Structure 1
Amino acid sequence: MVRCSCSLLRRYGNFMDNLRLFAKGGAGGMGFPRLGGEGGKGGDVWVVAKKRMSLKNIKDKHPQKRFVAGDGANSRISALKGEKGLDYEIPVPVGITVTDERGQIIGELNKEDDRILIARGGLGGNLLSNFLPSKGQKRIIHLDLKLIADIGLVGFPNAGKSSLLSKISHAKPEIANYAFTTLKPQLGKIIYKDFKQVSVADLPGLIEGAHMNKGMGHKFLKHVERTKQLLFVVDVSGFQLSSKTKFRSAFETIILLTKELELYKEDLMMKPSLLAVNKMDLPDAKDKFSELMNQLQNPKDFSHLFEKDEIPRKTLKFQNIIPISAHTGEGIEELKNCLRLSLDEQSNQENEKFSEEQLLNLRNSKLSYIDSSSESSRMEITKGH
């Protein structure tokens, strides 16, 4: 197990994926007892998903992280019904989960213009409240960003994920020959000849123990949750983080990555997955790839390589295994085609499932209508007798 240095964590901190803030709804306006006037309702505070927004933008613009809506207007002779206070809309990135102080999820913002009410305004004074207004709701909330992408790249540090992202998309991530090149999530887009776009997220490399928040830990793993599919990227020659850590072969890397995902959240194991075996331009790469394929086809024969607690309960079955070289470009076009086909197949399955559910709901509603009509007919016959 290896811990990241403080300097790495500080550099990762430049990318913000969570923010705590205070929100308060506006107070209601005073009523007008003599004429029965009603004060205006206080404004509400909303979070609204907007493109090209970041949590860092919010913090820089509002360092106090305090958001208060407008108060409702008092009732008066010229306007017995006071005007509602101004709402406050906080623009946030797409992909935000909003939780309260207890960690309870208030809602999610998964597409542009999605909105969630986080603090209600107080009611204006009226006859029932003896014309006294109520205060607005006070609330501390947490904004937690989880990147939304079609494909999430999963791999140990220095597996070549950043190089791969630069090859298949227009993204320009930092690339270097040392661990933890990716210190913050990078997003790229594959653009196909028919202008179909597939988004790919390159996420900070895992290490053993990431599910326990070691290394980049949960900062990496939570972003995997909202990707449609996973693309495992492994070095055909294996991986060793430092001279003090154990060397892991490509097969061991895949098993340990799978275990980290399983321990963090078992639902991740349900996502369709593909495997890119990188650095096929290195000497003896073909022999090592053949050895890896044999191990993947007969994983139980190699269980002795692991401690019992390192073996996942469920072994991932990859839809495609593609040997590539992000350095020379070998296998890149095949990989892009496999990603496209896999996503199209998933989309078709989801559409079929949705159509089946709609048809089932339609049939059930028809049966309910027939049953109620039959019941009505029986009641009419009974009344006639």
Structure 2
Amino acid sequence: MSEESSVGSGGVAELFQLLRDGVPRTRAQLAKATGLARSTVAARVEELMRLGLVSPVADAASTGGRPSSQFALNPGGRVMGAVDLGASHATVALIDLTGAILVKSTEPLDVASGPEPVLTRVVAALTSLLERTGRSESDLAAIGMGVPGPVQHSTGQPVNPPIMPGWDRFDVPGWMLQHLSAPALVDNDVNLMALGERAVAWNGAEHLMFVKVATGVGAGVISGGRLLRGAQGVAGDLGHVRVARGADVPCHCGSRGCLEALASGPAIARVLRAQGIPADGGDDVIDLVKHNNLEAIQAVRQAGRDIGEVLTTSVSLLNPSVIAIGGSMARVGEHLIAGVREVVYTRSMPLATERLAIVHSAAAEDAAVIGAGILALQHALAPETLHRIVTA
């Protein structure tokens, strides 16, 4: 490629990808790394500073003559919106260009109330956070959003989400763009939890599963360093895999024996109610376990075994090095994860489990919102996005 063809927006994108690691570099170092003329590098750096993505930092040590100015990523140059929508809550945050959370808020919210009422509150929450941090809407480069249901990744539209009435095929990105003038990237919440968990605790892990146990059960899968979404966006939908022990237990999906009907928070609560123990949902189960209720501990341990039975197949199929257990039911402590480990380590091939870590989520309740920020960052800072911005 000639220098002239790489000098345009592609040159800007190439320089920025070098500077994203935060290491300061001089114009001479950038020229050597890219093969561009120093005058071209100077023009591209000016363009990146105009966009707010790069800023000058302390000068490098002089090697004779005038010291050379250094440039590096400007973490606060732009911000990303990050949204984690659950069945009954919304967590909204602003993320800087390094992926760090700047400010965050959580509020109760019923996702079943429909897309427009829910998204209206999300927009209001993001606007409030921008105001709190002295930012304007123009500082918002992109928005990442996780929803509790399958998503067609190419369009960002939820597809037949079982607990989200009225959301099927709703144009979430289009609606958000109209109200905040920033591109919105939408994915299943558990996929984003996998991205967030890897960023927080397993940076560089090529093969990781994140298992969310809450009102439902699902998994986000990273294989070969890439998030697996599947043909229809339902990869990792462990909740509706059949478990032999629960063959007669009905599931809200219309089938019987689904893992979700046995091991989710509401399912464990139902088991306890059948034993005469008051438990309306997952929070009550967690409270009972924390007060050392034996029946609750046994029910949680069995739920862990049921999850482990399904994960045994996943371990053989995907061979992950990490399985992180998160979601609201992970708050029961070691009892759930002990049941998972009991079955997976016993029934899987030794080679597959030799270095397999089955752990509590380190990112905990922030996993999805961190992952949403990463999704937005990946879009906003991608070479093709910078190409469009500079061309415009």
Q: Same fold, TM exceeding 0.5? A: no
TM-score (norm 1): 0.26
How high is the TM-score relative to the length of structure 2?
0.26
Higher relative contact order, structure no. (Cα contacts within 8 Å, ≥ 6 residues apart): 2
- Structure number, greater radius of gyration: 1
Greater helix percent: which structure?
A: 2
